[in-house]
Every structure is written in structure tokens, then in C-alpha cells.
Chains A and B, each alone.
Chain A
Amino acid sequence: MNSVPADGPDPVRAEITLTVNGSEHRLGIDTRASLLDTLREDLGLTGAKKGCDHGQCGACTVLLDGRRVNACLALAVAHDGADVVTVEGLARDGRPTRLQEAFLAHDALQCGYCTPGQLCSATAVLDELGRGLPSAATPDPAAEPVPDDAEIRERMSGNLCRCGAYAGIVAAVREAARA
């Protein structure tokens, strides 16, 4: 660990544009900065959480150009011009989404730290199901996937919840998928 040369140049900075929750931001960033740290530290959007910083827990899940990604694994500089939706951008005009309502109704959260990632992930799951994309749990990949519990569990398994709210999360996603 002591073999890294220390006499390198100053941190390299870059300018990027991000559209986050519908607002455009021009940002000067350190090229080493993750999208997650950029959202949290530069834009003050702390809804996306840092649980592991290694793409292993899913707490930082956001929608990047419509797809769910771990924001901790995305370098901000690589996403100039991207459209990002965080948990703060899910509800419009203070009106909760079906998923947010269902999470509250089914107590699909406890400490709440994984919840923003769960919600962004579940938002993408509904979209993926709607587009007929199969998962490892889809019995027939050629057929339309059915949002049953096995499908939901498989698709939500990239988002860890240590409080153990999975039963409520599956119930909430099921309800939102069928609404």
C-alpha cells in the first residue's frame, strides 16, 4: 500500500452538465468523484445513500438515463450530459408515487437508509416489467414476465436491507405493479 507515487499532478478537474430531477446543473468536479459523491456533496441531494461505496449494497441506486445504476460506481466525469433521477425526484409536486405510498402502507422500511435505493430500484423494476424484460427468475424468457413474488424478489436482490424489511418491500412492489 505504500508503493503509490505521491508526486503526481494536482487533482484533475473537469466541467460537466447533469440534469438532475429535471434541473440542469453545470458542475466543476474532481475527475475522481463518483456520481454519488457529486450528488451528495456538490448538489446537496443526500437522498441517494452511501452504504458501501463498492456497488455491493444498492443504497446509492439512482436512475441514470432511465436505467437503475449504483451511483457509487459511476464516475461523474463519464456522464456529462446525463439525465439523473434520485429519490428526491420521484414524487412530483408533493404527490407520492404508487411505490412510495405502497412502501408506507406495507411498512417496507425501518431505518430508512436503504429506502431511497429500494425505491429507485423498484421504479426501474416496474419499468423493466412493463417493457417485458426477463430476469433470472422468469420461467419463460420469451413470455411476458408476471410480477409475482419470485420475480420481484429476484429483481430487488441488488438492494440490501439489514433491518429485514424485504417482506414489506415485496408486498409494496407487488401492489404497485398491479395498480
Chain B
Amino acid sequence: MTDRLEGWEKVTGAARYAYEYPLENVAYLAAVQATVARGEILAVDAEAALGMPGVLAVLSGGNAPRLAPVDDGELAVLQSRRVAYRGQFVAAVIAETPETAAEAARHVRVEYAPEAADVLLRADHEGLYAPEKVNGGFPADTESGDPDAAFAASAVRVDATYTTPAEHNNPMEPHTTVALWEDDGTLVLYDSNQGPSAVQSTLAEVFGLEPAQVRVISEHVGGGFGSKGTPRPNVVLAAMAARVTGRPVKFAVPRRQMWATTGYRTPTIQRVRLGAGLDGRLDAVIHEVVAQTSAVREFAEQAAVPARMMYRAANRRTRHRIVRLDVPSPSWMRAPGETPGMFALESAMDELAVLTGVDPVELRVRNDAPEDPESGLPFSSRNLVACLREGAARFGWDARDPRPGVRREGRTLLGTGVAAATYPASTRPGEAVARAEPDGTFTVRVAAADIGTGARTALAVIAADALKTDLGKVRMEIGDSRLPRAVVAGGSAGTSSWGTAVVRACEALLVRLNGEIPPEGVEARASTADEVRSRQKYARHAFGAHFAEVAVDLDTGEVRVPRMLGVFAAGRIINPKAARSQFVGGMTMGIGMALLEESIMDEAFGDHVNRDLAQYHVPTCADIRKIDAVWVPEADPHLNPMGAKGIGEIGIVGAAAAIANAVHHATGARFRDLPITPARVLAEL
């Protein structure tokens, strides 16, 4: 139970986020967004803006520096006359003050030749195609056995379509960059991101520099949830503006501009077919996903991937189809793939439980897979059943009356639901340096990012263990691209990947230490590339189970969650205090997904209409009542030297399904479209 190492800085306001480094002579950037969803920029008239006192420059396609093309077309900022989506950056004003920049941006006149835009996702869209790979590098389609025949022959069949809306990550700290060019041509970026090494290499490519000529500093990051996992247009724009003006330039993307420019979770349309015997044992699992991507970047949400490994079934098919629309680019949002996919699969499992009369916990136990059904690989560890059993006991599940719609207290209907969770346990190569100082302390360096996960603290705990020393003797240095190269905080692979490198560096250091430490210290570096690549083949995943209680107001249709419990199997938990916060935080976002969150696409304007936190609702303090997360002991020797699985994402996976299943139990109505809003509930009561 270790307190966050940077906790004191965070509760006193001393922790510096990207915007907050004291720099001389800064200028401020305000961006201009496209007002059409598709078309051509005919002219940019900057005269009025340039005439305003305090305006330093106006950047647009006509005068912006030329950039090298990279895979992510979103980073070709101001490089084309084409408008790919409404809200794309088309110009920027740099001024002496933030007030002047914002004011002048309103005076930049952009003339467009608009074209008809295609912005609505449909399951029968003629542009749907199979991507070469889906996010994570998985194949778009898989099939084994004869799923159609097996489904047709099954005694019990579920065939249902589930939809999830566009959802926006909305970290509390906006995407922020302060960019400056030093006299020797080095680009320095104080930037809010999930991985300084990745920003360094991408920005070096974009600006035609050597990686060593780009320095990215990200000591404290105010959340990301995937949206800061890849560099977004803001960092490129700020760097361009700093080059043109010769001044340090500050740019924090205004909340309303984040909707179009910083990524979001694609809407999905998912058809799930489950074929089972009367005892609920699955014989066929078919999961087919339709999602969107943009004209400038292909992103294929891997929502059917968890159906490949979740349950045993001899006949299975998964399929992903995406369509390029004239919309902002979707990207990573907390557990991409698993989050929307497990809403559909775990809702369908609940429907199967109702049809077969098998208890929903028992149904999942009955279909537990002894090895990875698709690859045949053994699981490094799989304790889904333990999570379900432990959760059922703690939650009081055994006393549950399965009949839907029969628990009424006054004007409230009560119900409970369960859903399973899973997330891959990945480890990626990286480097770390451990150093013994002459004063008996240690410094451990790795270009990790702590976006609120508690990574800094977890790595210090890992290092202290490996060095066989006290936590207080370990100084962690993270959040700077000059530190040993590290993967992004993403895919729940951060702690596992960075931690492996930290352990190996500490072990190497211990070997070198004998007696007195010289004044210059002793240092050891480790690279885990060989170790990670030569690992034995296993299916490595974390598992979990969510239990939710809901109260549905008969008069308003409002759903509340008085009680929620998550039980997880994620290997060794390195710092229980921060881990619990990670799990509960994911579950909290899952409550938002179930009941509140939806970015609504307006077909006429071709843009999300509810672009702020007053209209896009995330959970508030009053929305979260009794909520807890626990874990089952799990010793897994096939992961990494810590025996730990990543825990940043699994907390949200399955959470929305548990709530939707509980709403069915409360009301008897099945909600297959998220979020479960009062309007939708009232229509079914």
C-alpha cells in the first residue's frame, strides 16, 4: 500500500503539466477549424487577423512549413487543400496573448468549395471493407469449424445486434504542447502524451530531424485514456508555429476542439450469434463488427477479437468491416476492441442465460475455455472462474431471484447483473538504466509516462524489490525522451514492459556493485528486446467479473447504480493502493459508457453536436455510489519478472454489459443500444 510518489506535488499544485513550464517570451496559438465536413479550401484571408495588434502570424496551407508524410494522415497538418472532416485544423493564429489569439482566430476567413459529406455509419454501407489488420495487428476475420451450420442446428440461439455510440476520451487535461526551437535546431516539446519516446520519433520524422534533435518532456500528464497514445495534430501545429515565429508557442486544445482533433471511440454495430445446447454449452459463436474510420487515417476497432478467446465453442467466426467516412479519425479509447466488443458478447451471454434458464455466473463457468480456443495455446493463467465465484460470494449473488421485473420498491425497479471481463497481458521491448549513487541511493531511468496510472510509484516499487533496498532510496526518473527508450502507456503494457527493463537494469547493476561506490556512481543499462521476443508462446490475458446493482426510476426512466463490484485476476498486484484506483476508475468510466456517454453525429453539419462537458456527460461524483474492486491471488510465471498483468483497461471491459444486464433484470426490457438513457428506458417501461 504505497502512496503515490508525486502525491504531495499534486495536492499542492506544484506538479507541472505541459502548459505550465515557466518560459520567457512565449506566444499563444489558437486554431481555426474547418466549417465544412468535406471539400476544398479555396482561400484563406488572414488580413483582418494580421491587422490586429499583437498578432504575430497566421498559418494556413499557403504558408505553413512543408512536412514529411507519415502513416497517420492526421499529422499532415495544413498540408492539403482537402478538408477531410468538419473541425479539422485549417489555420492557426499565433499572438502575444491568449485573448488576442482567440479573438484573431475568429477573424480568419476561410472560403470552401463544399462537397456532399458522408458521415453516418450504417451496417449496410456500400463502402464497408475488410481492413488488412485491425488495431493490435490482428487479422480482420477468423473462422473455424462450420459456424453457420452449427448455429442453425443449435437447440438455443441468440441472434442480436448491439450498438455503441461514438465516445470521447475527455482526459481532464486537454492535449497540450509548448514547442520551442533551440539555436542548434533542437525541437523541445513540453507535451501532454502517453509516451515521450513515440512523440520524439514521430515528430522527428514529420520535421525531417534526427530523433536526438527532438526532446519531449512529459513529467506529469493529466490523463489520456488512449487519446494521447499517438501524437495528435496539436503537437505538430505548435511545433510549426514555433518554427515560423521563432518563439516558444503554447497550445492547449480547447475542450470543444478536442472532439474533432484528438480521437474518440468509433461507433460500432455488432451482430452476435450464439448457438448452444439446452444446458447453455456453446457450440457456435459468431461476432461481426461494423465500425468507421476517417478519410485520412485507417483505424479499425478490434471489437470481435475478445470473442476469439473468451469461451469454448467448436464453431466460430469473427469479422470486422469498416468504412471510410468524412468524419474525424477514431483512435484508441480505454480498451479499444474489448470495451465495445465485450458489451455485445456479454450482453448476448446474458440473453443466452435467460433463454436457457442457466444462471449467468454458471453459464460463464460452464463455457470457460481450458486453452485459447483459436490458437490452441495454453493460457499462461486464466482465473475467470475464480473471479466469478469470488464476486458471486461477495456480492450475494446466490440469493438472486432470476425473474426479471419483479423487484419493486415504491417507484423504483431493482435488478442485478453480471458480466465477464478480459484484456490481453502484453509486454513490449524497451530499455532502462539503473544507477547506484555514492550516497547509497539509486536512480532508475526509463522514458515511461505516468498519466495517472501510478506508473512512477509502481516502477519505484519494482526497482526497490529488484535492488533489495528501501523504496525511499529509489529515485524514479520518467517522462522525458532523453531517458532510455520506452513504449507508450497503452495496451495495458506499460508497467509490464517498463518494469521488465527496470528489473533487468537493476539486476545488472547489482552484479556490478562490489563494496564502495565510486564518486561518479555505477550504472547499468538493460534492453529487453531479446528477452521479450524469445518468450515461450502462451495466450496471456487478464480476466475479471463485474457485478452491478441498478435502480430504475419508473417515472423518469433514470438508471442509477447503487452498488458495483469488480473482481480481477491480473497476476501480482504491484501497488494495491493505486491498482484499486485503476480498477475502480475503469469501472466508473464503464458506468458512463452504460448510462451517459454519447457523441451525437449531426448529419446536416457532419460533426458531433454535443462538443463539451455540459452536453457530453461523464460520470460525476453523485453518479458513483458504492463501488469497489478486489482481486484474486494469481501466480503466473510466464509473464515478466514481476508476475504482473496490466490493469489500466480491464476495469472498463464488461462494465457496461453488467449494468445493461442488471437493467434487464430490473425491468424485463433488453437494451442493446448504448447509452441506456431515460428516454430509451421510458419507452420500454
B620 at interface by CB-CB < 8 Å? yes
CB contact list, B235-269 vs A, under 8 A: 252, 254-256
In angstroms, Cα B223 to Cα A86, docked, is 22
Number of A-B residue pairs, CB cutoff 8 Å, is 200
1/0 contact string of B165-183 vs chain A (CB within 8 Å): 0000111111000000000
**From B4, B8, B172, contact of A161 by CB (8 A):** B172
In angstroms, Cα B614 to Cα A11, docked, is 30
Pick the most buried of A2, A37, A152, A168: most chain B CB atoms within 10 A of its CB: A2
User: Which of B47-55, B313-321, B432-440 lines the interface with chain A?
Assistant: B47-55
A6 touches B49 (CB 8 A): yes
A57 touches B613 (CB 8 A): yes
Minimum Cβ distance to chain A for residue B616 (Å) = 10
Q: Residue on A with the closest CB to B20?
A: A46
User: Which of B103-111, B201-209, B535-543 lines the interface with chain A?
Assistant: B103-111
Contact residues in B for A152 (Cβ distance below 8 Å): 621
B222 at interface by CB-CB < 8 Å? yes
Contact residues in B for A116 (Cβ distance below 8 Å): 13
B613 touches A56 (CB 8 A): yes
In angstroms, Cα B438 to Cα A173, docked, is 43
Count of chain A residues near B, Cβ 8 A: 66
Contact residues in B for A119 (Cβ distance below 8 Å): 11
User: Which of B342-350, B402-410, B447-455, B504-512 lines the interface with chain A?
Assistant: B447-455
Q: What secondary structure prevails in chain B residues at the interface with A?
A: loop
B11 touches A100 (CB 8 A): yes
Minimum Cβ distance to chain B for residue A136 (Å) = 9
**From B54, B103, B618, B625, contact of A160 by CB (8 A):** B618
Minimum Cβ distance to chain A for residue B556 (Å) = 15
**From A33, A46, A54, A160, contact of B620 by CB (8 A):** A160
Contact residues in B for A4 (Cβ distance below 8 Å): 106-107
**From A11, A86, A161, contact of B99 by CB (8 A):** A11
Minimum Cβ distance to chain B for residue A95 (Å) = 11
In angstroms, Cα B581 to Cα A45, docked, is 28
**From A47, A112, A166, contact of B452 by CB (8 A):** A112
In angstroms, Cα B16 to Cα A57, docked, is 19
A51 touches B99 (CB 8 A): no
A104 touches B8 (CB 8 A): yes
A100 touches B12 (CB 8 A): yes
A104 touches B7 (CB 8 A): yes
Pick the most buried of A10, A54, A163, A164: most chain B CB atoms within 10 A of its CB: A164
- Known contacts A88-B13, A112-B222, A157-B621; decide if A163 and B452 are in contact (CB<8 Å): yes
1/0 contact string of B564-589 vs chain A (CB within 8 Å): 00000000000001101110111111
1/0 contact string of A2-45 vs chain B (CB within 8 Å): 10101100110000000000000000001011000100110011
In angstroms, Cα B223 to Cα A36, docked, is 21
The 10 closest A-B pairs by CB, nearest first: A47-B13, A111-B452, A113-B222, A164-B588, A164-B585, A112-B10, A110-B452, A6-B48, A87-B13, A46-B20
Could you jot down 19 A-B contacts, CB within 8 Å? Answer: A6-B51, A11-B53, A53-B254, A87-B12, A100-B12, A103-B11, A104-B11, A105-B3, A107-B4, A107-B580, A110-B581, A111-B221, A111-B223, A113-B223, A113-B452, A114-B222, A115-B11, A164-B588, A169-B621
Q: A104-B7, A115-B11, A137-B622 known; 10 other A-B pairs, CB under 8 Å?
A: A51-B255, A54-B256, A57-B172, A103-B7, A110-B453, A111-B171, A111-B221, A113-B17, A156-B622, A157-B620
Q: Which residue numbers of B lie inside 8 Å of A, CB to CB?
A: 3-4, 6-17, 19-20, 22, 35, 48-49, 51-54, 97-100, 103, 106-107, 109, 169-174, 220-223, 225, 252, 254-256, 451-454, 577-578, 580-582, 584-589, 612-614, 618-625, 627-628
